[in-house]
Amino acid sequence: MKPSIKRVCLDMDDVLNNFTMHALSYVTELDLAPDDWSKYSPWWGFDIVRAANELLGWPWDFAGGYTQEEFWTRVTEKVWESAPVSKLCSKLIHMCFYYFDPSQVCILTAPRPEAGCIEGKKTWVKKHMPKSLQRNVIYTEVKHLLACQNSLLIDDSDKNVDRFRLHGGRAILVPRPWNSNHMVRDYDEYVLAKLESYI
């Protein structure tokens, strides 16, 4: 008999919102729809800076492209707080609140070190999330510290998901072009079906 889930940890960026394409559109000044993943090549992996450079027509090894520092400096507080809500967001939160007490659901998000990131994320949460989730936000890069046999992480990062599982937790990898689930096409349905399988 599998242990019952007592804690659900929801990633924010590219799970509850569409941060990546939004940030790429802002920095590159290209007209990129926030949920049009077809513009993001799986070859770029979890490297948004390479994505920006190649979208601008610069090869990955072009010396004149954005550096990590240059790219992330351009991602201001305004960019973080204005990330569009994902189509998955409301369905995922509704399902979590249906099966779990709100106190069992939290947002688990990794902050960038640049000024404005946490402030922008806090504004985004206040603007878009129900009050119960506004109180349950954890900012950390080490998400696996919350892993246990009764906890479930829903995240778009292979690294986060693998580490969470390694430390005894369970996890759902949200399909995105930059992860190993990039071949899945029905993103939302896949995640919701996986979540239901843990209930």
Segment 134-138 mean pLDDT: 96
The reported pTM is: 0.94
pLDDT greater than 90 at residue 21: yes
For 22-62, how does the pLDDT look when each residue is reduced to its tens digit (9 = 90+)?
999 999 999 999 999 999 999 999 999 999 999 999 876 66
Please state which CATH number belongs to domain 7-18+81-197: 3.40.50.1000
Of 62 and 2, the one with more pLDDT: 62
Q: Domain extents for the chain?
A: 7-18+81-197, 19-76
pLDDT at res. 1: 42
For 146-178, how does the pLDDT look when each residue is reduced to its tens digit (9 = 90+)?
999 999 999 999 999 999 999 999 999 999 999
Of 107 and 3, the one with more pLDDT: 107
Segment 70-77 mean pLDDT: 96
pLDDT at res. 65: 87
Joined tokens for residue 57: 């027509």
Letter string b/e over residues 179-195, b meaning 16 or more CB atoms within 10 A of that residue's CB: bebeeeeebeebbbebb
Angle, helices 187-197 vs 87-99, to 10°: value is 10
pLDDT greater than 90 at residue 10: yes
For 105-134, how does the pLDDT look when each residue is reduced to its tens digit (9 = 90+)?
999 999 999 999 999 999 999 999 999 999
CB 11 within 8 A of CB 153: yes
Distance CA 188, CA 193 (A): 9
Mean pLDDT, all residues of the chain: 94
